[in-house]
Structure 1
Amino acid sequence: MKSNADRQTTSENRKVTRAAGVVGAATLLSRIFGYVRDMVLASFFGAGMAADAFIAAFRIPNLLRRLFGEGSLSIAFVPVFTEAMASGDRDDGLRLAVSALKLLLVCLSVVAVVGVVVAPAIIQLVAPGFAHTPEKMALTVILTRIMFPYVILIGLVALCMGILNVMGHFAAPAVAPVLLNLAMIGAVFAVSRFSDSQTVRVVGLAGGVLVGGVMQLALQIPFLVKHGVRFWKPSGIWHPGMKKVGILMLPTIFGAAVYQINILVGTLLASLLPEGSVSYLYYADRLVQFPLGIFAQAAATAVLPSLSRQAVNGDHVGMGDTFGHAMSLVLFITIPAMVGLVVLRDPIVALLFKRGAFDALTTRLTSDALLYYALGLWAFSAVRIVVSTFYALQDTRTPVKCATIAIAANILFGMALMGPMKHCGLALATSLASMVNLVLLVVVLRKKLGVIRWRLIFFTCLKTLVASGIMALGVMMICHILIPFENGAGWLRLLAGISAGVVGGSVVFFAAARMMRMPEWQIVRGVLKRSWKRS
């Protein structure tokens, strides 16, 4: 018979898997609309001046969202909020949530005002290469000023996500990005009816970002109210628990956002390369974000509340099992996703983006960047699980130390590789820096939580690599038959070939995993069966 501890660990693993399934499904819907959005942007703007300006400007509120929203306050808040709710005083926990929302609103409002005022200086720092083209620099500054208030909206959305996740609700925060994508798509088409100017269209697109932020925040409010959050009632802006959140928050500003900071470094260095380099990296990164968001971010979001509960109870053995379960599952999914992106990168980029202003040369250069980003997908994903474990332990120093080294490595790799490899060197630098970050984090975590079954994780990784290699051979055979090599392949032919490659590759991979008796196969099959029954 199982002991009580074993039953608790199994229960937490089931919660993680179930929550990851919910978040993953909602994120899948969001990513689909995200690709529709990117297809629209690629068609209207290609990889020219307007696209470069918008992408550089949009990077800034996105980075601040990671730093002050998801990356610091939200992640630092979850363990403290979990502890407050677990103490038995639910009302006090809810007051902490309201306090955090109000304090974040004030802080981000100040950040937004400062950002609007000093936008020219920010662009000089983030995209110094744009200074050689005054028109491009001016447009980027305008877009930055329009979109900077978005950091207020999306920061509040990120904190709402943390509150709702602790309360066991994952769907609404995960599906919220769909509204942003719809708003941006609608803005482009609406403005395009009245103007053919790319400058006017891209300004309208920036306005759509703000509308999308309002819609995302509005979606969270009914669910917060349903769970007892009464933010309209008179209450102070400060709660004693916020002191602990603040102590945890400061180091996490860099620790949780290392990937986004590395992407921003790539944008900075890409601005020094030929026009279009910023756009190539953006579109390639968006494709990597698909599996990263659906699987890795979903698992990290789902595992943090469980790890936090176990940390509060001092159950380090349970934490080790939960961590190992989440890590094995993420590697089992992201390694074949990485291999699939590498093998199918050319037809995927052509299918999604090759139309309108997005020509054959832009398609090839974006595909090249995708190759080097995809090589780091497993590391990007694993880092999110490891970082969540440190934050559950309320250890914020280790991630920030490792992140600082990783950012420095990214800058050095980027400067060394951008000369011979252009924008591809910047993509490879981001992947290499993430691997450095992962190695450093794992070394420390191994000392901190020796109960983790690293041997099991290693063999899961090894078996997954073997199954992925077999899958790659199958996908290449399918593509050789169904997808022509000439550039003029129609989208129906590409869609049929990619679909056959994905389905056929998945069948081959899961068959190989089943033959090797990998338990992760059973877990994924169970999630799929439950999802099918619910649908």
Structure 2
Amino acid sequence: MSLAGKFATVGGATLFSRIFGFGREMMMASALGIGPVADAFNLAFRFPNLFRRLFAEGAFNSAFIPLFARSLEEEGEEAARDFATEIFSTLFVVLGTLTVVAMVFMPALVKTIIAPGLATCVDDPTVPARQAISCDDRLAITIAYSRIMFPYLACMSMLAMVSGILNAFRRFFAAAVAPSILNFVLIAVLVWGFWHGAPQREVGYLMSWGVLVAGVAQLLMVTVAMRIAGFGIGLRVPRWTRKLKRLLVLAGPAALIGGITQINLFVGQAIASYKPGAVSILQYADRPYQLPLGMVGVAIGTVLLPELARSLKAGRIAEAQHTQNRSLEFALFLTVPAAVALFVIPDPIIRLIYERGAFEPSTTHAVGAVLGLYALGLPAFVLIKVFSPGYFAREDTRTPMVVTGASALANIVLSLALFYTMAEQGIALATTLAGWINAGLLFDGLRRRGLWELDRALAKRAALVVGSSLAMGAVLYVLRAEFAAWIGPGSKVPEQVSGILVLVAVAMAIYFALALATGAVDRALVKRLLNRRKERRA
């Protein structure tokens, strides 16, 4: 399968999951709005989800895969199986211990790390007690939800390792589609809640248990896929070995680097806990921009690393350079227009997705403003997914760790500085700026060390992609005013759907027409793909 085909496989499976994720968020917004229960669930879920991202998209996809690929290429499948069993056993013991300790000390974790704003919360005396949840209650339900969901971390971390094995065997689909299980389970919980008219607190508890159930189901799914692929691992007493030490040396920095997006979001939510509703505003804005980030960024990060690792281990340097350039070209081609569109029409998108039930019209603009700022960082976070494997495939994590540390520090400083003047919008802007700092420094490090050489085709197409996207954005801006009656405040859902579909169709037509006319996309590649489709039909 070609590189583009592999991207399409993972991206398509991720798109499937993200679409149902949209459905989940829409139903959650209708059921919980931006109230205290929504804040508590989002805060509690962010912590294990942070570690899921660190392990799944950082430590294991960045450290385990190159070592496993080397063992597979140089020593054979039996040695690779022994290495995987060794790591899995250690991971199982460490994660089990961590889960027990965290659940015991969860109140302290919530007060100091997850939601420090709840520890200093003061009840508003002007709000009648029957109409509000007290600060003590907000803290209590956040602790309860966190305890229920924390074992999800262990499930997802072990899932990440099994997914890494599947990716090393170039089997990407099962790991990419597994997150859909979480969406299915939570949608089922929300449907039950709507059907029975359950109170918000009960819905929050059931959703927390749903997260745990989904975690176990996802782990079972990829384990079965691994068995079908003819590879199996077991459990044994953990031992301190040379390979385990090497993995830990690589995994620590890799986890930090690969999970920078989630670290920034986690820091932002911790700071946002000082303002009621801000956590949920950030979460609801995060979902729409995660769709293109997931489709493109996760697809590239999943496919590019094993491809680079195998090329470099085999000494095919030219092939590795070509893979890197085409991956960057692919990322820019899809993410730049998506970022422009999300920046130009955020409010209509949010209105269509969320504005119903407990999600009031007054909340739409607040979430839309945050989405617009997040959109400006979309290309940066995808570029991080492209640049990071250039280091990881060479088993170099120390250099980019400094870069990630600098961008994370910048995010914290900017978030603290901007939160008190721009509230949740300041956090979104800080996240975006930190993402661009991270991407810029990662690329500069590769360039200076001679690990990345931009070819002329990439430089030309990148400039044309930006130009085509800006032209598309200008047309979209004009059409937004023309379609105000369809997509503006007070419009009905059918009108909103029709209006946004027309805007999206026009924007895509303009962008792809300009891209083909100017050469922003490889016309020869498009022609070959079309010819292949004709041949298959014939």
Q: TM-score, normalising length from structure 2?
A: 0.92
The change in CA–CA distance for 1:221 and 1:507 in structure 2 (over 3 A counts) is same
Q: Percent identity?
A: 34
Residue aligned with 2:357, SS: coil
- Which residue is equivalent to 1:9? none
Query: 2:138, 2:412 → 1: CA distance?
Result: 24
The change in CA–CA distance for 1:276 and 1:525 in structure 2 (over 3 A counts) is farther
Query: 1:112, 1:261 → 2: CA distance?
Result: 20
Residue aligned with 1:300, SS: helix
Q: 1:293 offset after TM fit, Å?
A: 0.3
The change in CA–CA distance for 1:218 and 1:124 in structure 2 (over 3 A counts) is same
Q: How does 1:199-214 map to 2 (within 5 A)?
A: 199-214=201-216
The change in CA–CA distance for 1:523 and 1:124 in structure 2 (over 3 A counts) is farther
The change in CA–CA distance for 1:256 and 1:529 in structure 2 (over 3 A counts) is farther
**Kept after mapping to 2: 8 A contact 1:38/1:283:** yes
- Which residue is equivalent to 1:8? none
Query: 1:458, 1:383 → 2: CA distance?
Result: 18
**Kept after mapping to 2: 8 A contact 1:316/1:449:** no
- Which residue is equivalent to 2:338? 337
- Which residue is equivalent to 2:282? 281
The one-letter code of the counterpart of 2:428 is: A
**Kept after mapping to 2: 8 A contact 1:23/1:174:** yes
Query: 1:383, 1:526 → 2: CA distance?
Result: 30
The one-letter code of the counterpart of 2:10 is: V
Residue aligned with 1:231, SS: coil
Query: 2:25, 2:363 → 1: CA distance?
Result: 14
Q: 1:117 offset after TM fit, Å?
A: 1.1
| Structure 2 residue 37 is matched with structure 1 residue 35 | no
- Which residue is equivalent to 2:227? 225
Q: 1:491 offset after TM fit, Å?
A: 1.0
**Kept after mapping to 2: 8 A contact 1:373/1:430:** yes
The change in CA–CA distance for 1:451 and 1:42 in structure 2 (over 3 A counts) is closer
| Structure 2 residue 130 is matched with structure 1 residue 129 | no
**Kept after mapping to 1: 8 A contact 2:148/2:209:** yes
CA-to-aligned-CA distance 1:312-337 (integer Å, 9 cap, x gap): 12333322221111011101110001
- Which residue is equivalent to 1:162? 164
Query: 2:216, 2:329 → 1: CA distance?
Result: 37
Q: 1:241 offset after TM fit, Å?
A: 3.0
Q: How does 1:294-305 map to 2 (within 5 A)?
A: 294-305=295-306
The change in CA–CA distance for 1:413 and 1:176 in structure 2 (over 3 A counts) is same
The one-letter code of the counterpart of 2:244 is: M
More displaced, 470-479 or 395-404? 470-479
Residue aligned with 1:32, SS: helix
More displaced, 378-387 or 98-107? 98-107
**Kept after mapping to 1: 8 A contact 2:325/2:455:** yes
More displaced, 451-460 or 144-153? 451-460
More displaced, 146-155 or 219-228? 219-228
**Kept after mapping to 1: 8 A contact 2:461/2:519:** no
- Which residue is equivalent to 2:125? none
CA-to-aligned-CA distance 1:168-205 (integer Å, 9 cap, x gap): 11111101111110011112233455563211110101
Query: 2:360, 2:67 → 1: CA distance?
Result: 50
CA-to-aligned-CA distance 1:239-288 (integer Å, 9 cap, x gap): 65333222211222312111111111100111122x11111111111111
- Which residue is equivalent to 1:103? 90
Query: 2:203, 2:473 → 1: CA distance?
Result: 41
- Which residue is equivalent to 2:149? 147
Q: How does 1:224-373 map to 2 (within 5 A)?
A: 224-232=226-234, 237-238=238-239, 240-273=242-275, 275-373=276-374
The one-letter code of the counterpart of 2:467 is: V
Q: 1:109 offset after TM fit, Å?
A: 1.3
Query: 2:519, 2:229 → 1: CA distance?
Result: 42
**Kept after mapping to 1: 8 A contact 2:89/2:236:** no
Q: TM-score, normalising length from structure 1?
A: 0.92
Residue aligned with 1:453, SS: coil
More displaced, 366-375 or 484-493? 484-493
Q: 1:479 offset after TM fit, Å?
A: 3.5
Q: 1:112 offset after TM fit, Å?
A: 1.2
Query: 2:199, 2:530 → 1: CA distance?
Result: 46
- Which residue is equivalent to 2:392? 391
Q: 1:482 offset after TM fit, Å?
A: 3.6
Query: 1:530, 1:54 → 2: CA distance?
Result: 48
Query: 1:31, 1:529 → 2: CA distance?
Result: 31
**Kept after mapping to 2: 8 A contact 1:130/1:137:** yes
The change in CA–CA distance for 1:338 and 1:482 in structure 2 (over 3 A counts) is same
Residue aligned with 1:314, SS: coil
- Which residue is equivalent to 1:497? 499
The one-letter code of the counterpart of 1:470 is: A
Query: 2:154, 2:527 → 1: CA distance?
Result: 40
Query: 2:103, 2:478 → 1: CA distance?
Result: 53
- Which residue is equivalent to 1:470? 471
Residue aligned with 1:137, SS: helix
| Structure 2 residue 118 is matched with structure 1 residue 118 | no
CA-to-aligned-CA distance 1:96-135 (integer Å, 9 cap, x gap): 2233333222221112111111111111122111121111
The one-letter code of the counterpart of 1:198 is: Q
- Which residue is equivalent to 2:53? 66
**Kept after mapping to 1: 8 A contact 2:60/2:164:** no
Q: 1:236 offset after TM fit, Å?
A: 5.7
- Which residue is equivalent to 1:77? 64
Query: 2:528, 2:172 → 1: CA distance?
Result: 19
**Kept after mapping to 2: 8 A contact 1:30/1:178:** yes
Residue aligned with 1:395, SS: coil
Query: 2:353, 2:528 → 1: CA distance?
Result: 31
- Which residue is equivalent to 2:182? 180
Q: 1:478 offset after TM fit, Å?
A: 3.9
The change in CA–CA distance for 1:479 and 1:528 in structure 2 (over 3 A counts) is farther
Query: 1:417, 1:44 → 2: CA distance?
Result: 30
Q: 1:237 offset after TM fit, Å?
A: 4.2
**Kept after mapping to 1: 8 A contact 2:69/2:310:** yes
> For structure 1, which runs of at least 5 residues remain unmatched after alignment?
1-13
**Kept after mapping to 2: 8 A contact 1:321/1:453:** no
| Structure 2 residue 375 is matched with structure 1 residue 374 | yes
Query: 1:347, 1:529 → 2: CA distance?
Result: 38
| Structure 2 residue 90 is matched with structure 1 residue 89 | no
**Kept after mapping to 2: 8 A contact 1:410/1:432:** yes
Q: 1:79 offset after TM fit, Å?
A: 0.3
> For structure 2, which runs of at least 5 residues remain unmatched after alignment?
122-134
CA-to-aligned-CA distance 1:446-504 (integer Å, 9 cap, x gap): 02235512654333221111101121233334434444264111111111111111122
Query: 2:533, 2:147 → 1: CA distance?
Result: 43
Residue aligned with 1:196, SS: coil
**Kept after mapping to 1: 8 A contact 2:88/2:158:** yes
- Which residue is equivalent to 1:47? 34
The change in CA–CA distance for 1:18 and 1:237 in structure 2 (over 3 A counts) is farther
More displaced, 66-75 or 151-160? 66-75
Query: 2:522, 2:355 → 1: CA distance?
Result: 36
Residue aligned with 2:502, SS: helix
Query: 1:174, 1:294 → 2: CA distance?
Result: 10
The one-letter code of the counterpart of 1:252 is: A
Query: 2:147, 2:39 → 1: CA distance?
Result: 16
